[in-house]
Amino acid sequence: MDFDPQVVEFRAEVADWLAEHVPDTPLPSIDTAEGFALHRSWEAELAAARLAAVSWPAEYGGRGASLVQWLVFEEEYWAAGAPGRVNQNGLFVLAPTLFGHGTAEQLARILPPMARAEQVWAQAWSEPGAGSDLAGIRSRAARTEGGWLLSGQKTWSSRATFADRAFGLFRSDPAAGRHHGLTYLMFDLRADGVTVRPILQLDGEPGFAEIFLDEVFVPDADVIGEPGDGWRIAMSTTEHERGLSLRSPGRFMAVAARLIDLWQRIGDPTDTALANRVVDAWIGARAYQLHGFRMASRVDADASVAARSSLAKVFWSELDLAIHETALDLLGPRAELRGECGPDGRWLDGYLFAMAGPIYAGTNEIQRNILAERVLGLPR
Ligand SMILES: Cc1cc2nc3c(=O)[nH]c(=O)nc-3n(C[C@H](O)[C@H](O)[C@H](O)COP(=O)(O)OP(=O)(O)OC[C@H]3O[C@@H](n4cnc5c(N)ncnc54)[C@H](O)[C@@H]3O)c2cc1C
């Protein structure tokens, strides 16, 4: 693969900057108050170097980078061991939705503070009765003067415990059919009528929250697209959430490289079964990398890319799990160490999170249904 000189130059600039700025010791978990604040400061540092959202236009804090440049940025970012992205739901899920469906006023108002992580965003889609069956949403948006009143309950909202704002789908016309009468709205997590209740996850930290809404006022300016058109817009959001945008190949290249390093340090060369799993992990990460570059060069030409984000989602989530399972098997009894015990302990933390990959952003069973019906054309 040959890259343009511009891309090569950009890669070198990013690598140099990261080598100078990435903290020497990993930041505390993003799901703690201290860790969240430190990740927020890191994002501000990235933004000051215009590296928080390289693919955005310069007017919003980006560099107008091409998709290939963005993939290259991601490779360097994860290879450098840089911190997780505390505003990932904003940068990689909401922002692309706004580029597709937001107004010029919304882009100008929302994107710059998002890039600087002055406003960290949470996604408020799931409800106790609406996960895979997202069209089962019952939280309501009732019309009022100048805007909407939101009521209901959202759940599993990542980072909502500490985040500033959220975006979600609300039923604005209860009489309309399940996929109709939904409106896509943004709201302040500290507004009157909002109660955020943290949920402790498997590692004991409040990585999620439930959000209770009691007649929370949202102005018309914070509706994305037309009222009632939320389902169509939400489906465009899922393309970004499931595909390259949220989970770029660079992430998995970096974790596969760490697995190879672990194998070289402690692997038993006579254990060919485990050696093959390490090789498979590398091949999987490399295949996803090449798939990413192929998608990036076809994205404008190939309209069916959208449905294929489901393919990417199944692939990266199962790859991540396989890499982590292989690492834990390699570590043997040491697999039980946690992050605070040094680099080997990061594998168990990573594994706990990788286990969630086949669930979040739409379960893999649902992605396989989508692939069967929309890509392969199988009967429902
Ligand atoms: C780490 C993590 C982070 C998350 N972050 C967020 C967030 O920030 N914001 C947010 O809104 N939500 C978030 N979620 C919630 C996530 O989107 C839901 O958990 C997911 O959509 C599944 O919904 P559910 O939990 O209600 O399970 P259910 O929909 O009840 O599914 C239960 C099981 O049944 C299977 N199933 C359901 N329907 C079908 C079908 N038609 N065909 C075949 N199998 C089916 C599912 O695959 C699953 O195995 C997060 C979840 C996790 C694990």
Give pLDDT tens digits for 331-380: 999 898 876 667 777 899 899 999 999 999 899 999 999 899 888 889 98
pLDDT computed for residue 303 by the predictor: 43
DSSP H helices, 158-248, are 230-242
**Residue reference for tokens 């739409």:** 362
Ligand 1, atom 32: closest residue by C-alpha: 132
* 239 is annotated as an active-site residue: no
Structure tokens, 26? 């990993």
Return the best residue to mutate from 31, 156, 162, 205 for the ligand 1 pocket (most ligand atoms within 8 A of CB): 156
Return the best residue to mutate from 132, 153, 154, 162 for the ligand 1 pocket (most ligand atoms within 8 A of CB): 132
The one catalytic residue among 105, 241, 318, 365: 241
Of 142-146, 205-209, 317-321, 375-379, which gets the smallest average pLDDT?
375-379
CA distances from 93 to 98, 99, 109, 236, 282 (A): 9, 11, 17, 10, 27
Q: What is the mean pLDDT of residues 197-206?
A: 91
What's CA 8's distance to the chain center, in Å? Answer: 26
Mean pLDDT of the chain: 93
Say if residues 287 and 261 touch (Cβ distance below 8 Å): no
**pTM given for the model:** 0.94
Host H or E run for residue 324? helix 305-331
CA of 366 to the centre of ligand 1 (A): 9
What b-and-e string marks burial along 154-191, b requiring 16 or more CB atoms within 10 Å of the CB?
bbbbbbbbbbbbbbbbbbbeeeeeeebbbbbbbbebee
Q: What count of residues does the chain have? A: 380
- Give yes or no for residue 365 CB within 6 A of ligand 1: yes
